[in-house]
């Protein structure tokens, strides 16, 4: 959580015109277009996103997941039995770092898609609902650039969300359990420093996993002015995809579902690291981004803004 505050602060500082590197690099005279003026909207988007109380509420709810797990395990008198409860739960008492991993595994099916659905579903529909969309476009922000900025905002939120779970998990683990060199699934042992890197790598994997869902949310968001509708549709779709992924009768469909590789980050806990599932996941998410990005563009580029 603490790193979040710092990045938020630096963003809003850059938005301030009198100070910061952006101001000194702006050399064009007042009133004439200067290159890079378009980035101001991205900075503003991130500032607004992370200044919203709703964003903080979502991140706090996510942070609560690993903390609750850690506290429950710590307070419970009996050791977690291997094979019961979420994967890695039994390892938590040996090494507190596993709180972060368990927290992610618990959050992936519902909590993370939920928060991402809220942010991605709100991107365009939220602006349309407030009426600010017409003022952004009349500024003019440019429709394509606005879509890109909105998507980047959603992607940054995905990263913030997974980092929040991991950071809260690591902190809770450090506070409540012994932490030391980590024994991997392959039996090798890595240093504490390297295990932090592995935790970040897993956060990166989960972030990439959510990029396809973000693109779907962006597309739904261009269809309506009621952002709750776009949010709900995105979240429902993420649940449907996981249900379909669990039906063996639909084997042929599974590799095409955006949720198919969501939990396959165990390969990152081996020595040497196996990047196969990371690559397959990235490719799949890239495909979803391309398809739903194109759909969103097709819908939004010519849409009549009547809200």
Partner 1 sequence: MTIAARAGDLAIETRALTKRFGRQIAVDAIDLAVPMGSVFGFLGPNGSGKTTSIRVMLGLAAATSGEVSLLGESMPGRLARVLPQVGALVEGPAFYPFLSGAANLRRLDSADRAAPGRSRRARVDRALDRVGLSNAAGKKVSAYSLGMKQRLGIANALLMPRRLLVLDEPTNGLDPQGTREVRALVRSLAGEGTTVFVSSHLLAEVEHMCTHAAIMSAGRLVSQGTLDELRAGEARVRVRTPDAAAAIRVLAAAGLVAELESAPDERGAESFSAAGGSSNRPADHWVSAPLEVPAGGHLAEEDLVAALVAAGVRVRGFHLQDTSLEDRFVALTGEGFDVVR
Taking CB under 8 A as the binding criterion, the range among 9-17, 91-99, 197-205, 206-214 that sits at the site for partner 1 is 9-17
Q: By C-beta, is 80 or 121 nearer to partner 1?
A: 121
251 is a site residue for partner 1 (CB under 8 A): no
| CA 255 – CA 174 distance, rounded (Å) | 37
Applying CB under 8 A, among 3, 23, 236, 250 the residue interacting with partner 1 is: 23
Cα–Cα distance list, 205 to 79, 164, 182, 281, 289 (Å):
30, 14, 19, 8, 16
Torsion of Cα atoms, 88 then 91 then 92 then 96, to 10°: -110
| CA 254 – CA 96 distance, rounded (Å) | 34
28 is a site residue for partner 1 (CB under 8 A): yes
Applying CB under 8 A, among 33, 83, 187, 272 the residue interacting with partner 1 is: 33
Instruction: Show the binding pattern over residues 165-194: x = contacts partner 1 (CB under 8 A), - = does not.
Output: ------------------------------
Instruction: Show the binding pattern over residues 38-57: x = contacts partner 1 (CB under 8 A), - = does not.
Output: x-xx-xx---x--xxx----
Contact 219, 292 (CB under 8 A): yes
| CA 292 – CA 298 distance, rounded (Å) | 10
Nearest distance from C-beta of residue 11 to partner 1, angstroms: 12
Nearest distance from C-beta of residue 29 to partner 1, angstroms: 8
Nearest distance from C-beta of residue 274 to partner 1, angstroms: 43
Burial readout 27-61 (b: 16 or more C-beta within 10 A, e: otherwise): eeeeeeeeeeeeeebbebbbbebbeeeebeebbee
- The size of the interface with partner 1 (CB under 8 A), counted in residues, is 40
Q: By C-beta, is 37 or 178 nearer to partner 1?
A: 37
| CA 273 – CA 271 distance, rounded (Å) | 5
Residues contacting residue 262 through CB under 8 Å, at least 6 positions apart: 108, 109, 206, 209, 242
Q: By C-beta, is 56 or 196 nearer to partner 1?
A: 56
132 is a site residue for partner 1 (CB under 8 A): yes
Residues contacting residue 241 through CB under 8 Å, at least 6 positions apart: 257, 258, 259
* Residues near partner 1 (CB under 8 A): 15-18, 22-23, 26, 28, 30-34, 37-38, 40-41, 43-44, 48, 51-53, 130-132, 134-142, 146, 302, 304-306
């Amino acid at each position: 959580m603490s790193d979040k505050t710092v990045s938020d602060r630096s963003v809003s500082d850059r938005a301030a015109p009198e100070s910061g590197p952006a101001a000194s690099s702006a050399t064009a005279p007042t009133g004439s277009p200067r290159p890079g003026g378009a980035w101001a909207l991205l900075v503003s988007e991130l500032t607004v996103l992370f200044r919203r109380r709703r964003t903080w509420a979502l991140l706090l709810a996510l942070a609560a997941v690993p903390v609750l797990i850690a506290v429950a395990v710590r307070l419970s008198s009996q050791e977690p039995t291997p094979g019961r409860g979420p994967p890695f739960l039994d390892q938590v008492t040996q090494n507190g770092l596993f709180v972060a991993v368990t927290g992610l595994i618990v959050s992936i099916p519902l909590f993370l898609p939920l928060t991402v659905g809220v942010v991605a579903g709100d991107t365009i529909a939220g602006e349309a609902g407030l009426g600010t969309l017409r003022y952004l476009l009349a500024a003019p922000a440019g429709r394509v650039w606005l879509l890109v900025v909105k998507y980047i905002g959603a992607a940054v939120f995905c990263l913030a969300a997974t980092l929040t779970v991991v950071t809260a998990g690591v902190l809770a683990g450090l506070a409540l359990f012994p932490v030391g060199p980590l024994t991997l699934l392959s039996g090798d042992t890595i240093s504490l420093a390297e295990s932090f890197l592995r935790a970040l790598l897993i956060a990166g994997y989960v972030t990439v996993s959510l990029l396809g869902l973000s693109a779907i949310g962006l597309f739904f968001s261009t269809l309506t002015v009621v952002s709750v509708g776009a949010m709900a549709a995105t979240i429902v779709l993420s649940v449907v995809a996981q249900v379909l992924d669990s039906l063996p009768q639909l084997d042929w469909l599974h590799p095409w579902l955006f949720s198919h590789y969501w939990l396959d980050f165990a390969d990152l806990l081996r020595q040497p690291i196996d990047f196969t599932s990371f690559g397959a996941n990235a490719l799949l998410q890239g495909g979803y981004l391309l398809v739903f990005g194109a759909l969103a563009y097709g819908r939004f580029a010519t849409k009549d803004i009547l809200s």
